[in-house]
Structure 1
Amino acid sequence: MQTIHRLTLEDALVVLRAAEAEAERIGVRQTICVADDGAHPIALHRMTGARLTGVEIAIAKAFTAAGHQRATHLFNEAPNGPALPGNEAFGIQHMHTGRFAVFVGGFPLVHDGQVVGAVGISGGNGEQDKAVGAAALSAFEELVADAVPA
């Protein structure tokens, strides 16, 4: 038997608000998606002025990070990124057409050694998406550190 941890809407909103606050701080309009461990969106927010295309992109990044249990940018980091040409997962993004993202902006949410969800960030450049993702991850870590076991 194992204990399964689940994100609640309240948890997702903490992560989403932290991401939004960082996006505001650095002056970029983002779309933020928080998904559960099954890669299904729990909370989605497109900031005023964020690109319309960011919605599907943020959802895809969260889907990939939750479903594949790794940050999306790790697929393409040289020299050993598995999705780079010549490497073992080259073309993996074609397996879940329109849902699998192999670029910066998807980050798994890990608690007690298990991926309990993910956050997908879309709208900035790679460094901006990483900064917003780092704020989201930091808020999640604080949230679970403050949680009292049931």
Structure 2
Amino acid sequence: MSYVRNKPSISSEAAAVLIAAARAKADELGVAMSIAVVDESGDLKAFDRMDGSVHVSIQLAQDKAFTAIGFGLSSDGWYDFIKDDGPLALGAPAAIDRLVTFGGGYPVVLDGAIVGGIGVSGGHYSQDMTVAQAGLAALGD
């Protein structure tokens, strides 16, 4: 029996690819954003705060990425998951630290494993989603 478990984790290189592709999309949209990449445990791996991004976007981007790795569910997917369940709708956001229930956070899945998450904040959540998805597309995810 082994008491050690190896967990796949996003590399620094992959995190840089996510950041660069997401930033390029944000530039294309003309919206200053914060872009965070976390590892499989939710710890910050890479971060970029574009000039002019709003201050609150710093924490929100990180929390969206953290939300995405928690259950392997996008941050906007959380809204759909809890909206019709009263106890979850009231309890989950209050009880789960750093939970964000609107778009912009996605798990990063490589070789079938959640290796990290990307979170984007600074625009409307639909813009945040577009920018995060552009980052994922650069990895072929």
**TM-score after normalising by structure 1:** 0.84
1:94 aligns with 2:122: no
Select the structure that is richer in helix: 2
Cα displacement (A) at 1:82: 2.2
Count of residue pairs the alignment pairs up? 137
The correspondence of residues 65-76 of structure 1 with structure 2, limited to 5 A, is: 65-76=68-79
**2:119 corresponding residue in structure 1:** 120
Gapped regions of structure 2 (runs ≥ 5): none
**2:56 corresponding residue in structure 1:** 53
Identity of aligned residues (%): 32
The correspondence of residues 24-43 of structure 1 with structure 2, limited to 5 A, is: 24-43=27-46
Choose which of 14, 18, 34 in structure 2 pairs with 1:11. 14
CA RMSD after TM alignment: 1.8
Deviations 1:106-148 (A, max 9, x none): 0000012111100000011122111101101101227xxxxxx
User: After TM superposition, where is structure 1 displaced by more than 6 Å over at least 4 residues in a row?
Assistant: none
The correspondence of residues 135-146 of structure 1 with structure 2, limited to 5 A, is: 135-141=134-140
Gapped regions of structure 1 (runs ≥ 5): 143-150
Cα displacement (A) at 1:57: 0.5
Residue 104 of structure 1 aligns to a residue whose secondary structure is coil
Cα displacement (A) at 1:44: 1.1
**2:131 corresponding residue in structure 1:** 132
